[in-house]
Amino acid sequence: MHKPKLVTIGLVQLRCSAEPAANLTAALDGVRAAAAQGAQIICLPELFRSLYFCQSEDHDHFGLAEAVPGPTTERLSALAAELGVVLIASLFEKRAEGLYHNTAAVLDADGRYLGKYRKMHIPDDPLFYEKFYFTPGDLGFQVFPTRYGRIGVLICWDQWYPEAARLTALRGADILFYPTAIGWHPSEKAEHGVAQHQSWELIQRSHGIANGCYVVSVNRTGHEGDPQGGIEFWGQSFISDPQGCLLAKAPVEQPAVLVQSIDLGMLDRQRTHWPFLRDRRIDAYGELTRRFID
């Protein structure tokens, strides 16, 4: 029998608007609601302070960026200390003039700023023109030792890369958090929507299996952009366990506060019964650093 170590996770799935102040208020309200239900580690969606502006290349959107740490982390730090919760907040970071990142800040349960992760993989796809805005992360893959557990934070497009999950797990993460903004192009939904969503969910659940970790993915919901096109964010934020089983899942079309207790004591049992980390052939993986093997 393993010794239970229960931690309660909170997800705040938001429908974002064009008003940053209103989005921050909705996020703060969601954090309070999650904490009232017992959540100890609470994650917000990717770039929750605004609409998903990367649907177009517009220099005016750089005005949405802020320092990290900065004004939003100050508000969230005060709330984290008040409620005794760990917070993960994805923000548009202005590092210097002309230098911007897609960044997640981590705040401990006493309000201390523990650090930040800068998104490493930057997409450039129709309506996801992130390379126009974001410099790739340069802080590497990190783990944050919080009051309630060791957490790794990755962001959206990072979730498709097993290397990112592996390296974060190898640094000691018990839980992989993925703040996310992903959805359907409405014109593709009928033909490809089910497969696209299943791929997204399955790849993340597989990271939990391969690394013996819990996975927490936090999306936004609602339609944003051109009424005849744009992006229909598919919600469905979820928590899965180290066996890849879904523990909780949010709805498609509504904002939601999802709270779920997990047992970190399960990790050692899972990793000893399915010893993938033990049996890795680290002597044979050197070619992973190559772009392609011709």
Average pLDDT over residues 255-274: 96
Q: Which of 94, 156, 201, 213 is catalytic?
A: 156
- Rounded to the nearest 10°, the torsion over CA 268, 121, 108, 6 is -30
If phi over 0 gives left and psi between -120 and 50 gives alpha, with beta otherwise, what is residue 207?
A: alpha
Closest to 247 (Cα-Cα) out of 235, 268, 263: 263
Q: Annotated catalytic, 3?
A: no
Percent share of the chain, pLDDT over 70: 100
Query: Is the pLDDT confidence value at 93 over 70?
Result: yes
Query: Is the pLDDT confidence value at 145 over 80?
Result: yes
Q: What strands, in cross-sheet order, belong to the sheet with 256-263? A: 113-118, 99-107, 86-96, 41-43, 6-13, 256-263
Q: Annotated catalytic, 156?
A: yes
Q: Annotated catalytic, 189?
A: no
CATH superfamily of 6-278: Carbon-nitrogen hydrolase (3.60.110.10)
Q: What is the pLDDT of residue 203?
A: 98
**CB neighbour burial string for 210-233, b if at least 16 within 10 angstroms, e if fewer:** bbbbbbbbbbbbbbbbeeeebbbb
For residue 286 the two structure tokens come to 């050197």
3 state SS of 270: helix
User: Which residue intervals of 59-185 are DSSP H helices?
Assistant: 71-83, 162-170
Give me the residue spans of the domains in the chain: 6-278
Q: Which of 119, 213, 224, 232 is catalytic?
A: 119
Query: Is the pLDDT confidence value at 1 over 80?
Result: no
In the beta sheet, which residues pair with residue 261?
Answer: 8
Rounded Cα distance between 54 and 129, Å, is: 5
Query: Is the pLDDT confidence value at 156 over 70?
Result: yes
Taking residue 57's Cβ as centre, other Cβ atoms within 10 Å add up to 11
Contact 213, 246 (CB under 8 A): no
What does residue 270 show for φ and ψ, rounded to 5 degrees? -60, -45
Rounded Cα distance between 35 and 46, Å, is: 20
Banded model confidence at residue 2, pLDDT cuts 50, 70, 90: confident
* Mean predicted lDDT score pLDDT of the chain: 97
Rounded Cα distance between 286 and 170, Å, is: 16
Rounded Cα distance between 183 and 169, Å, is: 27
Percent share of the chain, pLDDT over 90: 96
